[in-house]
Structures are given as C-alpha cells and as structure tokens.
Amino acid sequence: MCNDCSGDNQGEGGGESRRGFLRLGLMGAGAIAVSALGGAARADECMAFGADAQGAITPDQAVAKLMEGNARFLAGQSLHCDLLAQAEAVAEKQTPFACVLGCMDSRAAPELIFDQQIGDIFVSRVAGNLATPEIIGSFEYGTKVAGAKAIVVLGHSHCGAIKGAIDKADVGANLTALLDEIEPVVLAVHHEGERSSKNHELVEAVAEANARDAAAKLVAASPVLAERVAAGELVVVAAIYDIDTGAVRLLA
Ligand SMILES: [Zn+2]
C-alpha cells in the first residue's frame, strides 16, 4: 500500500513517482517548483501517520513535529499532500500524534498553520480556546483511547473573544456567558495602562494568560489527562499563534 504524495494506492518506486510528478506538472510550474524543493523527504512526510509511528513518537517529539510544520508554513513550504490518498489510508483507523485546542478564528486554522494532514491531529475549536467539559472529554478520548501524545492549547493574537472579555461586551446571553469564562483571566492579568481592547499589549497578555489557563485546566479537571502527564505519556503545552507573522510560539 502506498500513502505518499503520488496519490496512487498501487505499486512502489520510480514509476509511481513519475506519475505523481506528471500529475503535479498538470497543476502548473508553481506546483513543480514546490515538489522539487522537497524530494523524497516530502513524500515521507505525506505518508499517513500510522500506529507504529504513533507508538514510537514521544510527547516532546510530538510538539516538535507540530513546530516543524509551522516552520514549513512560515517558509512557504507546506507539504501539499494528496489529501484524498491520505483519507483512504486512514479510513479504517486513525492514530493522530497530537491534539490542538484552538480558537474558532478563521485566521488560526491549526491544520494549516502546523501544516498537518488528514489523520495527523485532533482539533477542537471554540471562541477563546476554552477548556470546556466537552473539550476535556474529547481530549481524554484523543489521548487515552486514540493515543495522541501531546495537547497544544493555541491562543492567538488579535483574538476577538479576548477583546470582548476585556471590554465586558454584552452580545447576547450565550456569547456573553462564554466571554464571562475568560473574565477571571482578564482580572488576573496585571497591566499598566488602559484596560480596554484598544490596548494591544493588554490583549496579547490576556491571550497568553488564557492559553496557559486552559492548559492548566485540562490537567486539573481531568484525572485521565493528569495521570498520563504524570506517567510521561502526554505533554500539555500552551502556545500563541501570531496572526501578523504566521509564527507559533510555545509558552514557557
Ligand atoms: Zn480568537
């Protein structure tokens, strides 16, 4: 079976590579140039993340793999794998290596900014990247049942949910209740100057604190996750995605 970029599910070796290259040729010179940049290493990166790879990767390596993907994204060298071939490869079983808790913001799509493919990561998204009971339960599944080795809570710059929480926006019962969940974080952030969403430094400080808070809540609220962290089978980290630059920064 083949899971590489060529998209063919039969055969191995050069013939298949040639077919894949020819098909890339039909997509235009830009696609050919991207293919030439990566060579065989890119074909390996496009292989579906299987059970053996999941079993071998460590929690720290799982985080590093995400950051390597962000480096590709930043360099304009995202993999552009054959997603349909990957869908077929993981149709019977998924073995992702990581979970990401992100904001719903349209500019902060984890699969794109971490350059990950079908079957690679579990992603839960909600405005303000909050660790709700539903999301905690989802990650218990993703880690204990499905075997993912890392959880990254991904806050981001220019976050509307953070701004709304700072301004105590009244936007209807449901959304206001969501923003209220962030209020304790807002109150805990000590920052000189104007306490409004117009204060960019305050917005970014609260976004960082909120991501750290969610990461801590995931472990504090879940004996399942806490047990795996204590056993060295899982790492939970917070990070910030800079919308202006495309860079993800892990928070200490
Ligand atoms: Zn946001």
Kindly report the pTM of this predicted structure: 0.84
Query: What is the whole-number distance in angstroms between the Cα of residue 159 and the centre of ligand 1?
Result: 4
User: Is residue 191 located within the same domain as residue 75?
Assistant: yes
Query: What is the whole-number distance in angstroms between the Cα of residue 194 and the centre of ligand 1?
Result: 21
User: Is residue 119 located within the same domain as residue 233?
Assistant: yes
User: Is residue 34 located within the same domain as residue 146?
Assistant: no
Q: What is the pLDDT of residue 22?
A: 34
| Residue of 146, 122, 152 lying closest to 55 (CA atoms) | 146
C-alpha distances (whole Å) from 153 to each of 62, 93, 113, 251 are 14, 25, 14, 10
Which residue segment(s) compose the domain that 19 sits in? 1-47
Query: What is the whole-number distance in angstroms between the Cα of residue 99 and the centre of ligand 1?
Result: 18
Q: What is the pLDDT of residue 80?
A: 93
Distance CA 68, CA 64 (A): 6
Query: What is the whole-number distance in angstroms between the Cα of residue 190 and the centre of ligand 1?
Result: 21
User: Is residue 112 located within the same domain as residue 218?
Assistant: yes
Query: What is the whole-number distance in angstroms between the Cα of residue 229 and the centre of ligand 1?
Result: 27
User: Is residue 34 located within the same domain as residue 158?
Assistant: no
User: Is residue 69 located within the same domain as residue 151?
Assistant: yes
Query: What is the whole-number distance in angstroms between the Cα of residue 193 and the centre of ligand 1?
Result: 22
User: Is residue 42 located within the same domain as residue 73?
Assistant: no
Edge-to-edge strand order for the sheet containing 248-250? 121-125, 98-102, 150-156, 235-241, 248-250
Q: What is the pLDDT of residue 42?
A: 67
Backbone angle region of 208, left / alpha / beta, with phi > 0 → left and psi within -120 to 50 → alpha: alpha
User: Is residue 85 located within the same domain as residue 14?
Assistant: no
Q: What is the pLDDT of residue 28?
A: 36
User: Is residue 56 located within the same domain as residue 145?
Assistant: yes
Q: What is the pLDDT of residue 98?
A: 98
Convert the pLDDT of each residue in 178-212 to its tens digit. Answer: 999 999 999 999 998 999 999 999 999 999 999 99
Query: What is the whole-number distance in angstroms between the Cα of residue 46 and the centre of ligand 1?
Result: 29
The beta-carbon contacts of 57-62 under 8 Å, at least 24 apart in sequence, are 57/97, 57/149, 58/149, 59/149, 59/150, 59/232, 59/233, 59/234, 59/235, 60/235, 61/149, 62/97, 62/98, 62/148, 62/149, 62/150, 62/235
Query: What is the whole-number distance in angstroms between the Cα of residue 207 and the centre of ligand 1?
Result: 9
Q: In CATH, what number is assigned to the domain containing residue 151?
A: 3.40.1050.10
User: Is residue 34 located within the same domain as residue 131?
Assistant: no
Query: What is the whole-number distance in angstroms between the Cα of residue 162 and the centre of ligand 1?
Result: 7
Low-confidence ranges of the chain (pLDDT < 50): 1-41
User: Is residue 162 located within the same domain as residue 230?
Assistant: yes
Domains of the chain: total: 2
Query: What is the whole-number distance in angstroms between the Cα of residue 33 and the centre of ligand 1?
Result: 34
User: Is residue 193 located within the same domain as residue 69?
Assistant: yes
C-alpha distances (whole Å) from 90 to each of 18, 20, 32, 73 are 24, 20, 27, 23
Q: Give the gyration radius of the chain's Cα atoms.
A: 20
Query: What is the whole-number distance in angstroms between the Cα of residue 210 and the centre of ligand 1?
Result: 11
Q: What is the pLDDT of residue 15?
A: 38
